[in-house]
Structure formats: structure tokens, C-alpha cells
Amino acid sequence: MLGVGEKFPEFNVKATSSAKLADINIDNVFIDVNNNSYSGKWLVVFFYPKDFTFVCPTEIAAFGDLVEEFADRDTQVLGGSTDSEFVHWAWRKHQEELKDLPFPLLADVKRELTEALGIIDKDAGVAQRATFIVDPDGIIRHVSVNDLNVGRNPKETLRVLDALQTDELCPCNWSKGEQTIDLHEAAA
């Protein structure tokens, strides 16, 4: 698996649009997303095992609930799995909490991105429940992976993003607005 300090792989995939359900039509339901689509922004790219499952929509909806807070930090959220854009679209239409999802869902059907990241689950053959925070230069600054059965905490992802964006030393359980560690004071 790619880790902290490594370059996020180049990619070009289809995705379901983040347009509101009422505004979606044949011309905007599917979009192309690549590593240059959100140039100059931080990225939170999270993968989940499968559409039409039980844990996955809880996480996707929770990221959706925080999307404005991520946007306030100049960060684009992208979700994704190895399901097709058509399956993503069908799921969005029928899963109540995903109908107005405010970010694209990547369709890595060829598994090129998930394989480049090293997050294909060996037993299940699907994307692992992995989260990557990528800086504006395309460098991975944070990676976490949960067991397929355990949902992640998007608020923790936001907290880690806040800490990374300070570019300072942040102690355990640090939250935005709290004091960071001053090396000069710590050495004294």
C-alpha cells in the first residue's frame, strides 16, 4: 500500500456527479475525474467495499454531512469503489441518504487506482475501507484503513486534515483552535 510521503497515483476514472438529484440529467450524471480535476486543492479520497451494502452508506453520508467543512479548508472530498458509475447512480437514486450526495463517487471498475494504491482486499477482491489525505502537491499526508466490517470516522479525518494544514507539531487529540507544540518552549 502507498503510504505517507509518496505521490498519489495518476488516475482518470468515470464518476457520478455531485449534482443534486433533481438537477441531474443525461448530460451531467457522469463526469470524468482525474488527478488534475481539483488542482491546487487538498483531497480526501476514501474508498469503500461495495455499493448496496450496509456500513458503506453510513460513512458516505457522514462525509457528505461534513462536505462544507472540508470545502472551508480548500479540500475536495472524493468517494470511490470498484463498482461502475451506473451502479453508483442506481444506488444514489434509491438510497435516501445518498440522493443529494455533495461529492463525486469514483468508479474504479478497471481497478487501476485501487491497485496502484495497494488497497484491493486479497480475500474479498474489493476496495478496502481506506482513506487518503493528499496535499495540493499530490503527496499523501495521511492514510488509514479499517477492516471491511468497521466504518471510519469522517470527523477524525477532518481533525487530521486540520492538524496537517497547521504545518506545526500537533499533540495527541489536538483539535482546531487548540495550542500546537512550540519547540522553543518545549526545549526550554
- The answer for residues whose C-beta is within 8 angstroms of residue 166's C-beta and 6 or more apart is 180
> Tens digits of per-residue pLDDT, 24-79?
888 889 999 999 999 999 999 999 999 999 999 999 999 999 999 999 999 999 99
pTM, entire model: 0.95
pLDDT band at 188 (very low <50, low <70, confident <90, very high): low
**Distance (Å, whole) CA 108 – CA 19:** 20
Q: Which is catalytic among the residues 13, 15, 43, 56?
A: 56
- According to DSSP, residue 177 is labeled T
According to CATH, the topology of domain 12-152 is: Glutaredoxin (3.40.30)
Q: Please give the single-letter amino acid code of residue 177.
A: G
> Tens digits of per-residue pLDDT, 98-113?
988 999 999 999 999 9
56 is catalytic: yes
- Domain positions in the chain: 12-152
